[in-house]
Amino acid sequence: MDDYDHLDLDAIDFAPLDGTTERLALLTLQEAHDQLRLLLTIAQDGHPLSPQADRLAREIAARIPSEN
């Protein structure tokens, strides 16, 4: 499994949540693939955030196994 020990989740600025919700430390593989598909759609759409979406899609794709 990948080494995520270097992640300091307390240093990440997450969106606010109510007090009854708990965040998962890592995405499931299915969630990562869903996120990748979303980012690729944005990257290919010519959206103003396309360069950032493309960069994040490449980062995620490099870290997860393919669906095939």
Within a domain: residue 45?
A: yes
Count: domains in the chain: 1
Segment 1-59, tens digit of pLDDT:
455 556 565 666 656 666 666 666 688 889 889 999 999 999 998 888 889 989 888 88
Within a domain: residue 22?
A: yes
Within a domain: residue 1?
A: no
- Contacts of residue 4, defined as CB under 8 A and 6 or more positions apart, other chains included, come to 25, 26
Q: Is 33 exposed, middle or buried (0-12, 13-18, 19+ CB in 10 A)?
A: middle
Within a domain: residue 4?
A: no
Q: DSSP H helical segments within the chain, as ranges? A: 29-44, 50-63
Structural tokens at position 39: 């980012």
pTM exceeding the 0.85 threshold for the entire prediction: no
Print the domain residue range for 24: 9-63
